[in-house]
Structure 1
Amino acid sequence: MGKERRLLFEQQFVVFKEVADTKNITLAAKRLHMSQPSISLQIQNMENLYGARFFNRTNKGVTLTKAGEVFYDHVNNILNILTVAQQQISVLTEDQRALIYIGATLTIGEYILPNILAYLYKIRPDVDFKVKIANTETISQEVIEKRIHIGLIEGPAPRNKEIVVEKFWQDELVVVVPSFHPWAARHSITLAELAKERLIMREEGSGTRKVTELALKEMGLDLSQINVTMELGSTQAIKKVVAAGIGITIISSLTVSRECENGLFKVLKVQDSPVYRPLNMLTLAHTTQTKDERFLISMLHDRDLLEAIINGNCEDDKELYPCGDCLEA
């Protein structure tokens, strides 16, 4: 098969998948930087070639037919194989370093990922990492579009058949007060006490806010009783306001560990009602990971190692994993 013909087939597969994923020819054309007539023509050519109709067309968009669903699975497999082949060939022919694209939401990107990357830099200096910090929706979409190889998100994961969701860690949300607060000598508080205090919280729509409100509701606290006196768009801003004594907050324990060690904050728990949220890893379904991606995924599944990394207790990492081979999937 000539190079031009091979590239044409590959482009048609990409076009088909984009139309199937977006369910909209206009949107697919915009994402692929192609004209709408060109997209329609390529779909028509494929349907003629295979002798089957792949899409049901309506005024609201397009949906896959039964034949289209079968073809979609095969196209996915072909594109995944081509991607992996290209990566492996590039390393051989151009002597390129391995590169993994990681996406992370804010708390993970700021408080967990730096420790993970520092550890990986020591045991896998042959691998480079590019990191994007964004919200859950963006990370999920870029995993689907193969712009990110591994996504790490806080809280609920999106429902999508193209994404594999695996919990890799558990984060506790705790009540945080300044060290001079009347509650600082205590270890826990009641829901009734929490409802009366001035709360500083993340803005509406943030992952932390959603998880907190859901947990409080499940505990039996009417959300209308919460005295939210200030909403801020970042964890750092919240910590500064709490440190100034303006109010208290419910926040990830990961984000205040250093301040607690330095005596600036005191962490309290709601009596008999710990609040946890999962930290999830997103990967693309029906795809073949590279050796280096499998290495990272296996490491994230190693609970003991990950705990040591997050807590900064991996000084003797060579003894734990001399060359990382034991993490190979």
Structure 2
Amino acid sequence: MFEQKLEVFKTVADCKNITLAAKKMHMSQSSISLQIQSLEEQFGARFLDRTNRGVSLTRAGHVFYQYVCSILEVMEEIQQKVTLLSEDKRRYVNLGATLTIGEYIMPQILVYLYKQWPDINFKTVIANTETISQGILDRKIHVGLIEGPVSPNRLLKIESFWRDELVVVVPFHHPWAERDSISLAELSKERFITREVGSGTRKVTENYLKELGLDPGLLNISMELGSTQAIKQVVSAGLGITVISYLTVRKECEQRIFKALRIEDFPLWRPLNILTLEKNTQFTQSQDERYFIDFLHNQKLLAKVLTSSYSEDDMAAAGSKIVQIMS
């Protein structure tokens, strides 16, 4: 298929390496090479210079690359507009969310939207920030919700939609549970439970502590865990303390399982961001996706949604509208 050959060529050109491109596209290196060779034979030009260190575009390759990008963007736009006009197609919002947002914020949002917007289905990818941003660039994800910093890219538009507070969390039987705050120096005296290296929450916390003059390396880290839920279970068992989004422990704090504390004089906030393609990429969002972004910018309504309590039946009904979840 000609479009697939163009996708292969663009991926190889972006990766500058056939091996990396093959891994990214889940294809064999030989298949990648054959499709590139087929394109070069079809157009009678050599597009790539191959060396032991990778590949680079020839002069003809640079020209071809620009046209390929334009063709793929137009094909994507055609697909979206035809989908919107087709009565037989289900309506989708193509979302990507990082782990904390996907696990604790998206369910609240989707329950509300399911009640207001029952005809919409959410095609959702739950992954790390790097995967979400690459999905946006590849046009496989149309709206990304991320909690960590993302590498600068002129094709990506980043805008904040929520101001999330990170708090020190201890079990309710901990001696600190009678307090509302702790000092920065006290933080390094307790066993610390944290997310794995590369986590958005961990990056924000470490950057924050550095700004305050505390070397994150001085923390007594006893465990590194790959999910917020795992951290909560370990903290509730009294095996350490953590710094985590208040939204993820709000219910447990109300149930007196946890106590959330601020660091004295230094409350920790982080932006939760919407990640999309810039308008100059010729990418067209669907009307439903634009509605979803507008909803996220309605701070008063979003605050109400995120602090609401929903029944298990509501959660299950909303869950039926999520047609694809990937970790």
Q: Assess same fold via TM > 0.5.
A: yes
Deviation at 1:237?
Answer: 2.4
Partners of 1:66 and 1:293 lie apart in 2 by 39
CA displacement 1:24-50 (0-9 Å, x = unmatched): 24544562747244223244246547x
For structure 1, the 5+ residue unaligned runs are 1-6, 315-329
Task: Kindly report which structure 2 residues correspond to 1:234-249, keeping only aligned pairs within 5 A, or say none.
Answer: 234-249=227-242
Which structure exhibits the higher relative contact order, with contacts defined as CA atoms closer than 8 Å and separated by 6 or more residues? 2
Q: Given the alignment, which residue of 170, 191, 195 partners 2:184?
A: 191
Q: Given the alignment, which residue of 86, 89, 108 partners 1:96?
A: 89
Q: Secondary structure of the residue that 2:207 maps to in structure 1? A: helix
Structure 1 residues 240, 80: CA separation in 2 closer, same or farther (over 3 Å shift)? same
Q: Secondary structure of the residue that 1:221 maps to in structure 2? A: coil
Q: Given the alignment, which residue of 259, 263, 282 partners 2:252?
A: 259
RMSD in angstroms over aligned alpha carbons? 2.8
Paired residues of 2:8 and 2:36 also in contact (CA < 8 A): no
Q: Secondary structure of the residue that 1:282 maps to in structure 2? A: strand
Q: What residue number does 1:291 align with?
A: 287
Deviation at 1:94?
Answer: 5.2
CA displacement 1:181-218 (0-9 Å, x = unmatched): 22222221111122222222223333322222221121
Name which of structure 1's ranges 255-264 and 269-278 shifts more when overlaid on structure 2: 269-278
Deviation at 1:282?
Answer: 2.0
Q: TM-score, normalised by structure 2?
A: 0.81
Matched, 1:301 2:297: yes
Partners of 1:210 and 1:216 lie apart in 2 by 10
Q: Secondary structure of the residue that 1:86 maps to in structure 2? A: helix
**Count of paired positions:** 304
Q: Secondary structure of the residue that 2:308 maps to in structure 1? A: coil
Deviation at 1:309?
Answer: 1.9
Partners of 1:137 and 1:58 lie apart in 2 by 28
Paired residues of 2:169 and 2:260 also in contact (CA < 8 A): yes
Paired residues of 2:167 and 2:261 also in contact (CA < 8 A): yes
Partners of 1:120 and 1:67 lie apart in 2 by 49
Q: What residue number does 2:205 align with?
A: 212
Task: Kindly report which structure 2 residues correspond to 1:137-156, keeping only aligned pairs within 5 A, or say none.
Answer: 137-156=130-149
Structure 1 residues 291, 75: CA separation in 2 closer, same or farther (over 3 Å shift)? farther
Deviation at 1:113?
Answer: 0.4
Partners of 1:200 and 1:146 lie apart in 2 by 36
Q: Secondary structure of the residue that 1:102 maps to in structure 2? A: strand
Deviation at 1:269?
Answer: 0.7
CA displacement 1:126-168 (0-9 Å, x = unmatched): 2211222222222222222222222212111133344332222
Q: TM-score, normalised by structure 1?
A: 0.81
Greater Rg over alpha carbons, structure: 1
Task: Kindly report which structure 2 residues correspond to 1:105-144, keeping only aligned pairs within 5 A, or say none.
Answer: 105-144=98-137
Partners of 1:299 and 1:46 lie apart in 2 by 48
Identity of aligned residues (%): 56
